[in-house]
Structure 1
Amino acid sequence: MANRIFISLMEDFTPPEWFNEQKVESYCLSVLEKLGYDGEEISVLFCNDEYIQELNKNYRDIDSPTDILSFENGEEYSDDEGKWLQAGDIAISLETLPKNAEYFSVSQNEEFKRLLIHGILHLNGYDHGEEHIESGVAPTDEMLVLQEKTLKEFGDINLI
């Protein structure tokens, strides 16, 4: 079968000039295929810090912006094309992206790809607990190890 990616922008949000919806969709589809997922639907919302802070406050009781939030769904349905899993929704703050890239001393392109992989893994049952990516420290958690391995496999892709 295949997978479906639905890209949206927060209302009244103007993304950076480099943002290309088709590149993001293609990249996400490639990551899903590489990870062996089939028949998944994922929604990706791009927003600002204010909006993601509100989501973070409402769903995690953390009153601060963050880079990415993932909301698993897990519902299944069938249509003329086959059986689909609504894996869930990802929200990414494009205002936090450059801050993270600077903090981790990586390009915005690398950080953007990392966030997309991170969200996809969360929607597929992975959790990294209290461990997070740290600059100069190799991850040990299964999810983060897979994330970084997958990121390296897509090193030549430019989304930005």
Structure 2
Amino acid sequence: MDITFIDETTKVSEEKIKEIENLLQFAADYLSLPKDTEMSVTFMNNAAIQVINRDYRGKDAPTDVISFALEEEGEDEVPVIFEDDELDIPRNLGDIMISIERAAEQAEEFGHTYDRELGFLAVHGFLHINGYDHMTAEDEEEMFGLQKEILDAYGLKR
């Protein structure tokens, strides 16, 4: 999978980016995604993610992770569908934005490491751009169960 990383904070080390990349590659393999799948991850601060949360979700507060799934249709959008043999373009899942400040706050609040929280948020956002959600109790059980499976199988436990 091709992952583009953007660090708007300039505070995320290359080592930490590589760790998140390895985790997301593992998650992609876990879901049996095609190797030419693409996505992006942007690391930002609370102020930047608050603007996105306000503008796109109507919630004027910082959040931990926001996902924009490219394959998800909005209310008035028409689906773009190509026959498999029409174009040979990679599947682009979408974009994940993670507040590293919120990740640090939540790691302390939940009593686990920053690495675990950052990994949790990356996988959580990854599942969202792969069509998983937690709007109903049934969907939440499925998504959170898969999230735990992936994190445990990777070795990133609480």
TM-score (norm 1): 0.79
Number of the residue aligned with 2:77:
none
Q: Which has the higher contact order (CA 8 A, sep 6+)?
A: 2
Structure with the larger strand share? 1
User: What is the alpha-carbon distance in structure 2 between the residues aligned to residue 19 and residue 111 of structure 1?
Assistant: 16
Number of the residue aligned with 1:32:
28
Instruction: Extract unaligned runs of 5+ from structure 1.
Output: 132-138
Task: Provide the alpha-carbon RMSD of the alignment.
Answer: 2.5
Give aligned pairs, total.
143
Letter in 1 for 2:30: K
Pairing 1:54–2:16 present: no
Letter in 1 for 2:63: T
User: What is the alpha-carbon distance in structure 2 between the residues aligned to residue 90 and residue 57 of structure 1?
Assistant: 16
Q: 1:54: how far off?
A: 0.3
Asked whether the equivalents of residues 93 and 129 of structure 2 are also in contact (C-alpha less than 8 Å), the reply is yes
Asked whether the equivalents of residues 76 and 85 of structure 1 are also in contact (C-alpha less than 8 Å), the reply is no
Number of the residue aligned with 1:135:
none
User: What is the alpha-carbon distance in structure 2 between the residues aligned to residue 114 and residue 65 of structure 1?
Assistant: 17
Deviation >6 Å, runs of 4+: 75-78
Range with bigger deviation, 98-107 or 116-125:
98-107
Asked whether the equivalents of residues 119 and 156 of structure 2 are also in contact (C-alpha less than 8 Å), the reply is no
After superposition, residues 1-160 of structure 1 pair within 5 angstroms as: 3-10=1-8, 13-16=9-12, 20-38=16-34, 39-74=36-71, 82-129=88-135, 141-155=141-155
Q: Identity of counterpart residues, as a percentage? A: 32
Instruction: Extract unaligned runs of 5+ from structure 2.
Output: 72-79
Q: 1:8: how far off?
A: 0.6
Q: 1:19: how far off?
A: 5.4
